[in-house]
Structure 1
């Protein structure tokens, strides 16, 4: 039996139980029929990932899956999130033979942006109200324009086109669509649900990788003639799972956001048994990443949520103490090993902490040489060459540093201002008497965890797609109006023949 068939069987077995958990959580929010579309599209995308012998074949089959989704789903917008993690996030260059060697690098999320979001975005653009520009739009647009303009320094039209296409499909399209299409509290909760649903099966697959010591997706990347990510990474003798993220910390980031969105989800259903089961799967995936940045990020998210609910905080402590004591009695060695992995207090992989500290110091020296607009050749600086690792790579494990080094302080200001503004406006909503239909505190907690965690990882694989889509949801909340409690009606907000995208708020 070929290895890729064996891997597919393991993936379907590992993720199978999560389908039942997802159904229990999703059906009360989106209905049985919509859940079936989500499930079928995810399973189809997973299967074609392993069965396609090239990225081009995968792209064609994914288009058919998206056509099915558009035809069957009442709200196809959310399929972008549901399918975002279903295939390995590796990129393949595409160009025009004889003209341009490479005008864009496509990966599964960018394909989904073309197949799902672009048609919706065109429909939304026809509404003049969606073209109104807010301060958040200015900051996000300034960031994109700076990157596109600075790409001209490469002196290569291919590079300029590649940078512009990457920003258009990775930032502009998801940001515009989600910031304009979400118009009701129900839309926001469906978005949170989509993130949790998308992360659940991948968290289970990552847990399988961790327990078996076998990454299952590098074989898919090899069949697509693409880079295979970080390969086998270990910490304290344990394999760091990566699943479709291809990089362990990106996988942990995905599980962190999925768990945070599950906590922030506001529905008529109480946080019951199936929600706890989903939480356990996501936490298992988060642990399997053995990535301390996302661990701390989720801790920040939980702290923000509990800080405004003393009753929930007391229940959390009451539940955590016996669980921790039980684990200590069952396996004291596990507790010791877990503590040893914790940042600041643990002793495992101290070299990683030293590397991050040295990288920050070296990066500041390089930034001083080109402070305002950065340098496209920053990696060649002697200060950073000293940070070369054994694999021949210089890993810029900080998204803020990554932006500043290549594109300068001006670009960083646009980027940081966008997220700070988003968080500040959510905090204003959270401090008010929040409407019962939206968990503003929970959404703020997830956003703060994202802002913290991207300081511990570069913006690779799924990471930027997650934070731009999630932040766009925050902008949508602002566009609804502070304290909005609008509910949805049956009237579609986008008129398109035979296609229902979303339903507008009254």
Structure 2
């Protein structure tokens, strides 16, 4: 049997067992009909991926499924997020019909954007009740960043390439942000979106644990069956003798980041789940996936997320003290176990494994500073050719800019970096203000604000350790959109405190 078919059998077993076990908990968050539809679509899209034997057949089948089921979704962001990681973002070039090289590059993330988000965005733009662009301070930072990046796309002088880049920017950045921030008008919509993301992430987590235990990447062989390079997302990378899993997101750090965001979401979602055993199981699955990613940036990001979440809540000092005590006990237990020492060696700061990666990140910042200074305001499109950065060339013949902030500053200068940072800092400021407002009316809504605030803080840290590749930007633009939607929900409750949160604002179908 072909390797990708054996991988499909494993994926089906893992996912169907998960859906069956988690069904009771998930149906406390969303209607059972929605759960069944999500489960069936996830299974159908996975079968299309593994059985198509062609990128374009897979895209056409998945696209048809999305278009057919889209109108049944009351909250489209939930469907978008639950299907976001069903496939690696395998690129497929749309032919240029002999006039140009190619029209555009389509992948799974953009397919979801075009089929699910674009029709909703067009409908929202035509609705008089849709909050206008600019009604949130975050809007201005996002629009400013998008405008700058769109203008810089034409800097190399190739108009065709510039137009393709501009289209990609608005599909990849604006659509997730706009639809998340404008289509969600109540707590129910936020809960659907968070649930969709957590469900998808739990499947990823199970896959990550399986991959590290069996030293087998389940999604690698399917790339070859689709007719693309099987190693386009890297080969079998090891750390301390353990495989660094990719699941469907193509990179272990990206995988860890996705699971950290899901961990933030589940802090809120657990408030609606009745059984403590179900809450504990959900947390354990995600925490196990974060550990299995063997990625130090997400590990520290997860710890930072928990610290910030507890610090913003009641009895902060007591709970932070308990967390510190628990971390200390866990460290002592690991030190006493032979296998535990292996994990300790991989920890940041105190660990000794792969110290070259830590040194590379420090050297990258040192090498990039003179290049940033030389192109201070608007950066440079060919910054990788700078002699200071050439010394960072790795064995694979690439210069890996493993810092999203450095990457933004190199490409778009300090103007781009200020706009990029402004998006996150403005989001945190809005969350802080509206979470305080929510505490006076609805404690559960305040918990959501704490969870979102902690998740944005963790995101800002993790992207300092990795470039914005593969799923990372798609996730944080959607996250920023959800945060803006949250502030809108809180404002609506302040204006109409007697109205239940589940009915504030019309749902978009």
TM over 0.5: yes
- Which residue pairs with 2:69 in the alignment? 69
1:474-505 Cα offsets, whole Å, 9 max, x none, are 111223354646523398444xxxxxx2xxxx
Alignment partner, residue 498 of structure 1: none
- 1:372 and 1:408 in contact (8 A); partners too: yes
The answer on whether the counterparts of 2:185 and 2:504 sit within 8 Å (CA) in structure 1 is no
Q: Tell me which residue corresponds to 2:242.
A: 238
Which residue pairs with 2:172 in the alignment? 170
Q: Measure the CA separation in 2 of the matches of 1:252 and 1:47.
A: 25
Shift of 1:72: 4.1
TM-aligned CA deviation for residue 275 of structure 1: 2.1
Specify whether residues 139 and 372 from structure 1 end up closer, same or farther in structure 2 by C-alpha distance, changes over 3 A only: same
CA contact (8 A) 2:56 2:92 kept: no
Greater mean deviation of Cα atoms: 423-432 or 364-373: 423-432
What is the distance in 2 between the residues matched to 1:174 and 1:256?
A: 19
Cα displacement (A) at 1:19:
1.3
Correspondent of 2:472 among 435, 442, 463? 463
Name 1:32's counterpart in structure 2. 32
Q: CA deviation at 1:21?
A: 4.0
Q: 2:410 aligns with which of 405, 409, 419?
A: 405
Partner of 2:272: 268
Distance 1:71 1:429, change over 3 A: closer
* Aligned partners of 1:248 and 1:289 also within 8 Å: yes
CA contact (8 A) 1:45 1:62 kept: yes
User: Does the 8 Å CA contact 1:266/1:437 hold for their aligned counterparts?
Assistant: no
* Cα offset, 1:85, TM superposition: 0.5
Pairing of 1:214-253 with structure 2 (within 5 A): 214-227=216-229, 228-253=232-257
Going from structure 1 to structure 2, the CA distance change for 1:285 and 1:348 (only over 3 Å counts) comes to same
Q: Which residue of 1 aligns with 2:370?
A: 365
Instruction: Tell me the distance in 1 between the aligned counterparts of 2:504 and 2:436.
Output: 32
Does the residue aligned with 1:93 lie in a helix, a strand or coil? strand
> SS where residue 231 of structure 1 aligns?
coil
- SS of 1:303's equivalent in the other structure is helix
Q: Alignment partner for residue 305 of structure 1, among 299, 304, 309?
A: 309
| CA drift at 1:429 | 2.9
- Kept in 2, the 8 Å contact 1:231–1:246? The answer is no
TM-score between the two structures when normalised by the length of structure 2 = 0.91
Contact 1:102 1:162 in 2 (8 A): no
2:501 matched to which residue of 1? 487
Written as runs of structure 1 = structure 2, the 5 A alignment for 1:36-51 is 36-51=36-51
2:352 to 325, 334, 347: 347
CA contact (8 A) 2:212 2:245 kept: yes
CA contact (8 A) 1:202 1:244 kept: yes
Tell me the distance in 1 between the aligned counterparts of 2:487 and 2:71. Answer: 31
Distance 2:507 2:290 in 1: 37
2:481 to 464, 472, 487: 472
Deviation at 1:410, TM superposition (A): 0.8
Residue matched to 2:444: 437
Say if 1:94 and 1:102, in contact at 8 Å, map to a contact too.
yes
Are the equivalent residues in 1 in contact too, given 2:120–2:179 (CA < 8 A)?
yes
Secondary structure of the structure 1 residue equivalent to 2:103: strand
Partner residue in 1 for 2:300? 296
Q: TM-score, normalised by structure 1?
A: 0.92
Matches within 5 A, 1:61-210: 61-128=61-128, 129-134=130-135, 135-210=137-212
- SS of structure 2 residue aligned to 1:104: strand
Deviation digits for residues 322-372 of structure 1 (CA, Å, limit 9, x no counterpart): 76666666xx02221111111111111110000000001001111111111
| Contact kept? 2:75, 2:193, Cα under 8 Å | no
* SS of match in other structure, 1:488: helix
SS in 2 for 1:99: coil
CA distance in 1, matches of 2:322, 2:279: 16
Whether 1:10 aligns to 2:37 is no
Q: Distance in 1 between matches of 2:154 and 2:14?
A: 46
User: Which residue of structure 2 aligns with residue 504 of structure 1?
Assistant: none
User: Are the counterparts in 2 of residues 93 and 106 from structure 1 also a CA contact under 8 Å?
Assistant: yes
Cα distance in structure 2, aligned partners of 1:428 and 1:492: 24
Unaligned runs of 5+ in 1: 495-500, 502-506
Cα distance between partner residues in 2 of 1:2 and 1:400:
42
**Aligned counterparts of 2:427 and 2:239: Cα–Cα separation in 1:** 35
Return structure 1 stretches of 4+ with deviation > 4 angstroms: 311-329, 481-486
Deviating more after overlay: 456-465 vs 91-100: 91-100
Deviation per residue, 1:5-55 (Å, 9 max, x gap): 111112222333321343222101111111001111111111111112122
Unmatched 5+ residue regions in structure 2? Answer: none
C-alpha contact (below 8 Å) 1:374/1:407 kept by paired residues = yes
- Give the aligned length: 493
Relative distance call for 1:202 and 1:273 in structure 2 (3 A) is: same
SS of the equivalent of 1:245 reads coil
Pick which of 101-110 and 40-49 moved more: 101-110
In structure 2, distance between residues paired with 1:286 and 1:261: 14
Alpha-carbon deviations, 1:118-138, whole Å to 9, x = none?
111111111134334132111
